[in-house]
Amino acid sequence: MIEQSVDIPTKDGATTTFIVHPERDGPHPVVIFFMDAPAIREELRDMARRIATAGYYVMLPNLYYRKGVMELGDLPPLAEAEARDRMFELMNSLSIPLVMDDADALLDFADRDPAAGAGPVGVVGYCMSGQYAINFAARWPERVGAAASIYGVRLVTDESDSPHLAAAKAAGELYFACAEHDAYAPLEMVEALDQSIKTRNLNAEVELYPGVHHGFAFPQRAAYDKPAAERHWERLFALFRRNLI
């Protein structure tokens, strides 16, 4: 495997991006992997590596660069409640338009890298970033072949860029993995999303993972559930195989 950390120029500075892809048989289809609220960490790099081993050029950007933050573990320690408030402050500093600008810069970088394939792009976002993955699919319907939201938040809102509305603008296949127990995406929201998808007859699936909690795919989280995590990997790789050719 080939790994590198690259500062990719954006409208607002530069986002340090972890890039990993196989050493042989390239170029490889691009997959943009949006981080969750706790930021870049080795746990996410390992997940990016797992995707890359299946034959993809994976880009994991630091979305908190505007705040000068890379890894929360590098920040001065705080009491649990204060650390949580700091994380939410960072999360709330982002918006869909800001992240779309960042993702445009990533796509531009990949288009100039011989190791990256020129075909359809995949996108995956966890937690706060599920909405970003779906919106990027809507932003680039001619480029994004598949996008996945894994226990994404704010799936149905009153905003024009709500994922349930953005989904209708995407041409690629969409997948929403939702936890049965999730305070950030309660069942009423999941049901509203599912109904919206079915009413519009979109190329999308909403799958409820029974008995698990928000964060079930992260090995270092208390909510980690190995069977559900492995199911999400099977769904994700199948999604990419179908659409990133």
pLDDT digits (tens, 9 = 90+) for 206-237: 999 999 999 999 999 889 999 999 999 999 99
* φ/ψ (deg, to 5) at 60: -120, 95
Q: Which helix (H) or strand (E) holds 176?
A: strand 173-181
- Residue 212 is part of a domain; what is its CATH number? 3.40.50.1820
Give pLDDT, residue 212: 97
Average pLDDT, the chain: 94
Structural domain span for residue 187: 2-243
Decide if pLDDT at 74 tops 80: no
pLDDT confidence band for 78 (50 / 70 / 90)? low
Q: Which helix (H) or strand (E) holds 52?
A: helix 42-53
Query: b/e per residue, 167-196, with b = 16+ CB within 10 A?
Result: beebebbbbbbbbeebebbeeebbeebbeb
Decide if pLDDT at 169 tops 90: yes
Indicate the range of 79-93, 134-148, 183-197 predicted with least confidence. Answer: 79-93
Q: Which helix (H) or strand (E) holds 16?
A: strand 13-21
Instruction: Name the percent of the chain lying above pLDDT 70.
Output: 98
- What 3-state DSSP class applies to 15? strand
Q: Please compute, for residue 159, the number of CA atoms within 13 A of its CA located in the half-sphere on the CB side.
A: 13
* φ/ψ (deg, to 5) at 211: 80, 0
Contact 143, 171 (CB under 8 A): no
| Averaged pLDDT, 94-111 | 96
Q: How far is CA 11 from CA 155, 204, 242, in A?
A: 27, 32, 33
| Averaged pLDDT, 140-150 | 97
Decide if pLDDT at 85 tops 80: no
Looking at the structure of the chain, the number of domains it has is 1
